[in-house]
């Protein structure tokens, strides 16, 4: 409260003063979209300023313009009242601008200190170790400078990014969706760090689409929609609903759902699964038991990087188990742990992976050819030859069914926006009429409208008797669609919570290993 | 950090007719550089152009030579392209061709007075098998040990050449041939029928054309071809769909080995008529260039094969008529592929200079 | 004793060009560029150096011009893969073919000519030691420089900012760009360095070890060099070890011949190629080892974001 008050004071003082950073009429266009259109914004020293908007509203592009990763097509950027052209991140840093990216710019094979030294001209990794520890202590960000980045959890990596910025003594710190990688229990500590920084006089640009957080933390908020600034408000004076309406332009649609009526025989079952991934940087899965029955949606929550990827790969058949472990996995009653993806799909498995371009779809291929990827068994191949008429019809049906915005079945997958491609892939997999559907990050980077469509279709599929497993980093999403929720932590799966008993506090505890006994729980604090 | 003064964006929605730009540009550059090099060696530019690119078409015999050389290039390039589309880099066409030539020579050497109708089919079967076995070494090492197929197939080329040297100077040498490192002459039953009298052109061209038709169906219409293509374009998508990488490796290399082996048989059963130290002027390598120049597309490869064959024949003619070193051939092949790859940028991508302000244009392109 | 001296001396002479070129390739690959045109670059370096020495008698000028000639070819390769976004495999093959052809053409008038060997630089005192003296310490300077460069590169990768930036570029050009480095420049310089080293290696062969020029002089060494980098798991010290093991294998083949064992010469000639295949297979088996050491972006086309 104290920190907030002093920051407000600083803000008021700044009112008549020049802003630290001011954007006037900034525009940035890409070949297919105008990402920022006539954007104006000002930030004062000591202010925590939110930039609010849903996926695709242009927040990330705007931050990249400020940080010099991209150059604006038109408009002015002023730093302490002076016009500046920020041609490169190094220049931004020398002005005193630091940025914590949503997707970290850390190199996995290097140590923490080595990574940090790359952005500190004239500094050696050895020489930085002490200062990393010092800054870490001052702002509550403990980190081992000699640790290799690939061994760190996502939350720890974020700390590295923040420490890296702080070592430059920034006057303005940009944080892009910083809470998206934290368990709910980790968020207060981050906010505390941010408030301490602001009370030191540093300005914070806090990018988020989470309304609750913005109302708790920020003094002012600039709301963006479709690349434009819609309003600048004081979030403390708003409600979630008013902010949401500004952000989306209408009320947030929620999917209607009926109570589940699951069958008794499991459609997907993992028994006591142990799995060591081939990837040396991957997470080992330990002792996992999981049952999904027809007609229910089971959610897997957790902070990203705790084994979600590996679990999805083991279930989909992209990674296969050794023969001796065949019985660990059964799909539709068949024990198939050592079967490949193609064979498992024949049992009625469908899968929507988290990467769309390059995994769920071939970027350079048309939607027609991308239908063939998993739907080829449905009368599309005769004597080894492809019947393109059938394939095209299937693609057209997916496009129509899911309202995919594209130029038609001949459009290349890479020409679609992330949300539209995701709709297409989900449509394609649902079209297979699967017995089991596994969806990984169903609405990542998808705008609110498309996300609602996707969630509705997943629930409809459940009601038609499919067993659905949804893996997501967004807890809110799972709370909306799932009938039961497990939490994954360091490759272990928590007991399942039915919808009614799954509250934020309990799940938050699970996300930091609260369900694991003994040694693991004690070390869990660092996650 | 400075920005490049241009931006490069993928060209969406297929390149359409502009795919032709790259090969045409590459060929033009090659023609010009060919004339430039040759004339720098003391041949007048016009004469150089004539020898290199006109003479191959000037007589029936020369044109027959062009088509004769087109056949192995076509055959091998079609097969290699199937692998290249799957990003399986079989650069061992030369070695597989040599093995095919060796395998194809066994029957006519050991049954030298046979006039059996089964002679040619037997040679073809043996030669293809040998080519496939040679390629299979690389496939097995890749599948079993994850060994890089580029390096393995290249090494196998060198080993194949040594094997050939050993055989023609030892076990397969013509014992009545004054110690020359070559085998006996093949009987007529072991020779491919000629297509046009007055030329050396033989039936191998028909096989090359048939391979082109087959490759077209395989690439454009077959499910196996589709699976290979997915594996090359997006390996994770292939894994996701459950298309086996192991199959793709085996299939690509075996097809390559079979085609190159067949081309090897056609050399010994055609223009050579015996096994000798030199069974190929580098068809196995040149086929790599043909495959790329043809855009890895079966029809494109057909035209590319003819063009590279012209370089071969034009090079030969320049050598005999004007003393231009054979190395010019090699250089032109290199230039051809280099300029093709360079030109491809403008087909696959949209290259634009950075303008200081592009808002108006950007608005025109607003699509959402 | 004579034999041992011969073995040692032969090993380091065979290993030196492999090591020099492999260290250059290592730098390029560390930055994420797979350069498959080493064979052509070594040929061009060999012929350029040979011509200079033949005409001027200046060996170090020959070495330098050999390096520069190959570096120019490397610049062409770099432009194609970095700025024109050419596929690295295809571009490497293309430039390699071009380089081989150019070397053959330029060297045509010198085919089978010889030069006196580059003068050796016996190391004082050490070169008088029994056996190892003449075996290891009575060679041209480049022989001693090669391991010194290996040590230098090991140190650069391990403890300097330059090494760090190179590793970063090879792991993720996108991230390296995002934190403010010019990926294209880093890669361009690495490829140039690789070309320069390949040229010197070629020069060593034509003016110091074979002391002649003929088309096909490099005889696949350029490919063995690429294999050595895989063999050494992208670490300078292991690449060096690999180069010397390889040199020893080549000498073993001569030894077998000299003691009169009846083996077809063609089989002996094939030994390095077979050894390369076996080495690649054995060392690639452990996928984790490759994954941990290979530059992640190796061979991938990198397109600069807006």
Highest-confidence segment of A241-250, B1-10, B285-294, C277-286 = B285-294
Give residue C306's pLDDT band: very low, low, confident or very high (50, 70, 90).
Answer: low
Mean pLDDT of A22-42: 89
pLDDT at A255: 63
Among the partner-chain residues A93, A109, A125, the one whose CB lies closest to the CB of C167 is A109
pLDDT at A252: 65
Smallest Cα distance from C172 to chain A, Å: 7
Q: Which of A28, A33, A57, A73 has the most B C-beta neighbours within 10 Å, making it the best mutation to test the interface with B? A: A73
- A with C: how many residue pairs have Cβ under 8 Å apart? 53
Average pLDDT, chain C: 92
In-domain check, residue B12: no
Question: Residue B134: CB partners within 8 Å, gap ≥ 6?
Answer: B92, B95, B96, B99, B156, B160, B257, B261
Cβ neighbours of C292 in A, within 8 Å:
109, 280
Give residue C304's pLDDT band: very low, low, confident or very high (50, 70, 90).
Answer: confident
Average pLDDT, chain A: 88
pLDDT at A185: 78
Q: How far apart are CA B150 and CA B207, in angstroms?
A: 27
Among the partner-chain residues A29, A369, A385, the one whose CB lies closest to the CB of B222 is A385
ipTM: 0.91
Quick check: A445 and A469 in contact, CB under 8 A?
A: no
How many residues are there in chain B? 368
Q: Does residue A408 sit at the B interface (CB-CB below 8 Å)?
A: no
Tell me the DSSP string of B190-253. GSPPBSSTTS--BTHHHHHHHHHHHHHHHHHTBHHHHHHHHHHH-HHHHHHHT--HHHHHHHHH
Least confident of A251-255, A357-361, B119-123, C62-66: A251-255
CB-based contact A110 C168, cutoff 8 Å: yes
Quick check: B82 and B215 in contact, CB under 8 A?
A: yes
If one looks up domain A2-96+170-248 in CATH, what number appears? Answer: 3.40.50.300
For residue range B138-162, what is the model confidence (pLDDT) as tens digits? Answer: 999 999 999 999 999 999 999 999 9
Highest-confidence segment of A109-123, A234-248, A359-373 = A359-373
Among the partner-chain residues B162, B289, B342, the one whose CB lies closest to the CB of C86 is B342
CB-based contact B145 C36, cutoff 8 Å: no
CB-based contact C108 B330, cutoff 8 Å: no
Q: Give the B window 91-130 contacts with A, CB below 8 Å.
A: none
Domain span including residue B192: 67-304
Quick check: C263 and C256 in contact, CB under 8 A?
A: yes
Question: Which residue of chain B is at minimal alpha-carbon distance from A410?
Answer: B13
Smallest Cα distance from B216 to chain A, Å: 12
Quick check: C220 and B155 in contact, CB under 8 A?
A: yes
In-domain check, residue B345: no
Indicate if the pLDDT at residue B39 is higher than 90.
no
Question: Which residue of chain C is at minimal alpha-carbon distance from A90?
Answer: C180
For residue range B176-212, what is the model confidence (pLDDT) as tens digits? Answer: 878 889 999 999 999 999 999 889 999 999 999 999 9
For residue range B15-27, what is the model confidence (pLDDT) as tens digits? Answer: 566 788 899 999 9
Give residue B9's pLDDT band: very low, low, confident or very high (50, 70, 90).
Answer: confident
By percentage, how much of chain A surpasses pLDDT 70?
94
Residue A287 parent element (H or E): strand A285-292
- Sorted by where each begins, the domain ranges of chain A are 2-96+170-248, 268-355+434-526
For residue range A127-157, what is the model confidence (pLDDT) as tens digits? Answer: 899 999 888 888 888 889 999 998 888 888 8
This prediction's pTM: 0.90
Looking at the DSSP assignment, which residues form a beta bridge with residue A74? A27
3-state secondary structure A137-157: HHHCCCCCCCCEHHHCCHHHH
- DSSP code of C114? B
pLDDT at B361: 39
How many residues are there in chain C? 306
CB-based contact C101 B332, cutoff 8 Å: yes
Indicate if the pLDDT at residue B358 is higher than 70.
no
Cβ neighbours of B236 in A, within 8 Å:
355, 358-359
CB-based contact A407 B13, cutoff 8 Å: yes
CB-based contact C274 B344, cutoff 8 Å: no
Smallest Cα distance from A149 to chain C, Å: 13
| Domain A268-355+434-526 bears CATH identifier 3.40.190.10 | no
CB-based contact A278 C179, cutoff 8 Å: no
Instruction: Look at strands A21-30 and A33-43 and give their pairing.
Output: antiparallel
Chains touching chain A through at least 3 C-beta pairs below 8 angstroms are B, C
pLDDT at B159: 96
Quick check: B341 and C90 in contact, CB under 8 A?
A: yes
CB-based contact B338 C36, cutoff 8 Å: no
For residue range C238-271, what is the model confidence (pLDDT) as tens digits? Answer: 999 999 999 988 887 777 777 777 788 888 888 8
In-domain check, residue B311: no
pLDDT at A518: 47
CB-based contact A118 C306, cutoff 8 Å: no
In-domain check, residue B348: no
Mean pLDDT of B30-55: 89
Q: How far apart are CA B337 and CA C90, in angstroms?
A: 8
Domains, chain C, ordered by start: 2-293 (1.10.3470)
Indicate if the pLDDT at residue B368 is higher than 90.
no
Do A2-96+170-248 and A268-355+434-526 share a fold?
yes
pLDDT at B14: 60
Mean pLDDT of A66-74: 88
Average pLDDT, chain B: 91
Q: How far apart are CA A343 and CA A341, in angstroms?
A: 6
Mean pLDDT of B218-246: 95
Smallest Cα distance from B92 to chain A, Å: 28
Smallest Cα distance from A385 to chain B, Å: 4
Question: Which residue of chain A is at minimal alpha-carbon distance from C160?
Answer: A124
Mean pLDDT of C68-78: 98
CB-based contact A74 B357, cutoff 8 Å: yes
By percentage, how much of chain C surpasses pLDDT 90?
71
Smallest Cα distance from B162 to chain C, Å: 5
Number of domains in chain B: 1
Indicate if the pLDDT at residue B366 is higher than 50.
no
H helix runs in chain C, sequence order: 2-30, 38-56, 59-78, 88-107, 132-136, 141-159, 161-171, 173-178, 183-203, 221-231, 236-258, 265-284, 287-293
Indicate if the pLDDT at residue B367 is higher than 50.
no
Q: How far apart are CA B229 and CA A11, in angstroms?
A: 59
3-state secondary structure B252-298: HHHHHHHHHHHHHHHHHHHHHCCCECCCCCCHHHHHHHHHHHCCCCH
In-domain check, residue B169: yes
CB-based contact A280 C168, cutoff 8 Å: no
pLDDT at B3: 65
Q: Is the dihedral of CA C157, C160, C163, C164 positive or negative?
A: positive
Q: Which of A25, A26, A28, A29 has the most B C-beta neighbours within 10 Å, making it the best mutation to test the interface with B? A: A29
Question: Which is more confident, A108 or B338?
Answer: B338
Mean pLDDT of A240-244: 85
């Amino acid at each position: 409260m104290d920190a907030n008050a002093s920051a407000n004071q600083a803000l008021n003082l700044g009112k008549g003063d020049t802003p630290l950073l001011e954007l006037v009429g900034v525009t940035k266009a890409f070949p297919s979209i105008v990402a920022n259109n006539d954007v104006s914004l000002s930030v004062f020293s000591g202010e925590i300023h939110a930039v609010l908007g849903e996926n695709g509203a242009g927040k990330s592009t705007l931050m990249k313009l400020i940080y010099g990763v991209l150059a604006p097509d038109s408009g002015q950027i002023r730093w302490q009242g002076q016009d500046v052209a920020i041609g490169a991140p190094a220049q931004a840093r020398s002005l005193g601008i630091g940025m914590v990216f949503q997707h970290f710019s850390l190199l996995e094979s290097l140590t923490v200190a080595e990574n940090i030294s790359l952005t500190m001209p004239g500094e050696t990794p050895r020489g930085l170790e002490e200062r990393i520890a010092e800054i870490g202590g001052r702002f509550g960000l403990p980190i081992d400078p000699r640790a290799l980045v690939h061994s760190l959890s996502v939350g720890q990596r974020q700390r590295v990014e923040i420490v890296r910025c702080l070592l430059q003594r920034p006057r303005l710190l940009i944080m892009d969706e910083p809470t998206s990688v934290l368990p709910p229990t980790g968020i207060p500590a981050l906010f505390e760090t941010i408030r301490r920084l602001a009370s030191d006089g540093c300005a914070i640009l806090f990018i988020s689409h989470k309304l609750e957080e913005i109302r708790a933390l920020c003094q002012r908020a600039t709301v963006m929609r479709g690349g434009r600034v819609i309003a600048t408000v004081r979030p403390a004076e708003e409600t979630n609903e008013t902010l949401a309406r500004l952000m989306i332009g209408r009320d947030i649609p929620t999917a209607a759902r009926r109570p589940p009526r699951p069958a008794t025989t499991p459609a997907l079952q993992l028994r006591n699964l142990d799995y060591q991934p081939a990837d040396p940087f991957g997470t080992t899965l330990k002792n996992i038991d999981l049952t999904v029955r027809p007609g229910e949606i089971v959610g897997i929550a957790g902070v990203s990087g705790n084994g979600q990827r590996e679990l999805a790969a083991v279930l989909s058949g992209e990674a296969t188990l050794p023969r001796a472990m065949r019985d660990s996995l059964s799909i539709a009653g068949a024990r198939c742990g050592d079967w490949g993806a193609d064979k498992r799909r024949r049992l009625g498995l469908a899968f929507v992976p988290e990467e769309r371009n390059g995994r769920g779809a071939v970027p350079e291929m048309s939607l027609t050819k991308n239908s063939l990827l998993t739907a080829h068994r449905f009368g599309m191949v005769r004597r080894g030859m492809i019947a393109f008429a059938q394939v095209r019809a299937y693609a057209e049906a997916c496009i129509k069914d899911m309202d995919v915005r594209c130029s038609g079945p001949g459009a290349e997958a890479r020409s679609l926006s992330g949300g539209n491609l995701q709709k297409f892939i989900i449509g394609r997999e649902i079209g297979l009429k699967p017995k089991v559907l596994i969806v990984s990050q169903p609405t990542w980077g998808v705008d609110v409208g498309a996300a609602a469509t996707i969630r509705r279709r997943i629930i409809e599929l459940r009601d038609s008797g499919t067993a659905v497993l949804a893996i997501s980093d967004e807890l809110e999403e799972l709370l909306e669609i799932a009938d039961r929720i497990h939490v994954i932590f360091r490759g272990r799966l928590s007991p399942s919570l039915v919808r009614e008993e799954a509250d934020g506090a309990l799940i938050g505890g699970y996300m930091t290993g609260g369900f694991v006994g003994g040694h693991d729980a004690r070390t869990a604090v660092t996650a | 950090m400075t920005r490049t003064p241009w931006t490069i964006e993928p060209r969406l929605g297929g390149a359409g007719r502009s795919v032709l730009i790259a090969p045409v540009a590459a060929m033009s550059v090659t023609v010009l550089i060919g004339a430039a090099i040759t004339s720098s060696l003391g041949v007048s530019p016009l004469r150089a152009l004539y020898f290199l690119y006109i003479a191959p078409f000037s007589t029936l015999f020369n044109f027959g030579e062009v088509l004769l050389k087109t056949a192995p290039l076509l055959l091998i390039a079609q097969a290699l392209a199937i692998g290249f589309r799957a990003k399986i880099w079989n650069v061992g066409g030369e070695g597989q061709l040599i093995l095919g030539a060796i395998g194809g020579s066994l029957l006519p050497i050991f049954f030298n007075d046979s006039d059996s109708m089964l002679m040619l089919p037997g040679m073809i079967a043996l030669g293809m098998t040998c080519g496939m076995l040679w390629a299979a070494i690389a496939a097995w090492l890749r599948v079993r040990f994850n060994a890089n197929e580029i390096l393995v197939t290249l090494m196998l080329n060198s080993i194949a050449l040594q094997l050939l040297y050993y055989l023609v100077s030892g076990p397969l040498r013509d014992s009545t041939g004054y110690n020359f490192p070559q085998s006996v002459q093949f009987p007529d039953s072991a020779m491919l029928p000629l297509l046009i009298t007055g030329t050396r052109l033989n039936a191998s061209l028909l096989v090359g054309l048939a391979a082109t038709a087959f490759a077209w169906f395989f690439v454009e219409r077959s499910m196996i071809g589709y699976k290979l293509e997915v594996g090359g374009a997006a390996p994770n998508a292939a894994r996701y769909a459950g298309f086996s990488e192991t199959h793709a490796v085996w299939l690509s290399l075996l097809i390559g080995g079979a085609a190159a082996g067949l081309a090897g048989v056609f050399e010994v059963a055609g223009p050579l008529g015996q096994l000798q130290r030199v069974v190929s002027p580098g068809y196995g390598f040149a086929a790599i260039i043909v495959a790329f120049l043809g855009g890895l597309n079966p029809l494109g490869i057909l035209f590319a094969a003819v063009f590279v064959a012209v370089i071969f024949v034009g090079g030969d003619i320049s050598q005999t008529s004007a003393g231009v070193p054979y190395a010019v051939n090699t250089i032109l092949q290199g230039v051809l592929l280099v300029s093709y790859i360079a030109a491809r940028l403008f087909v696959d991508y949209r290259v634009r200079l950075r303008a200081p302000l592009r808002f108006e244009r950007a608005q025109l392109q607003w699509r959402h | 004793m004579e034999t041992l001296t011969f073995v040692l001396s032969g090993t380091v002479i065979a290993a030196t060009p492999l090591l020099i070129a492999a260290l250059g390739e290592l730098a390029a690959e560390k930055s994420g560029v797979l350069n498959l045109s080493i064979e052509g670059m070594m040929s061009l370096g060999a012929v350029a150096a040979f011509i200079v020495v033949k005409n001027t008698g200046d060996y170090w000028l020959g070495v330098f011009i050999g390096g520069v000639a190959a570096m120019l070819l490397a610049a062409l390769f770099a432009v194609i893969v970095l700025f024109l976004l050419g596929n690295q495999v295809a571009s490497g093959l293309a430039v390699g073919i071009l380089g081989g052809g150019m070397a053959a053409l330029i060297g045509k008038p010198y085919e089978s000519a010889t030069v006196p060997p580059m003068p050796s630089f016996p190391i004082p005192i050490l070169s008088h030691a029994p056996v190892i003296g003449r075996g290891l310490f009575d060679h041209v300077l480049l022989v001693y420089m090669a391991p010194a460069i290996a040590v230098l590169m090991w140190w650069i990768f391990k403890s300097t900012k330059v090494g760090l930036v190179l590793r970063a570029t090879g792991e993720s050009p996108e991230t390296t760009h995002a934190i403010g480095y010019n990926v294209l420049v880093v890669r361009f310089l690495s490829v140039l360095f690789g070309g320069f080293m390949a040229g010197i290696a070629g020069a060593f062969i034509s003016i110091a070890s074979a002391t002649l020029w003929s088309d096909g002089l490099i005889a696949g060494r350029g490919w063995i060099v690429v294999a050595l980098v895989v063999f050494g798991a992208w670490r300078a010290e292991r690449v060096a070890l690999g180069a010397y093991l390889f040199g020893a294998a080549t000498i073993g083949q001569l030894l077998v011949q000299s003691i009169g064992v009846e083996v077809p010469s063609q089989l002996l000639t094939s030994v390095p190629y077979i050894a390369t295949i076996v080495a690649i297979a054995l060392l690639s088996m452990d996928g984790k080892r490759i994954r941990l050491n290979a530059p992640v972006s190796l061979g991938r086309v990198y397109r600069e974001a807006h």
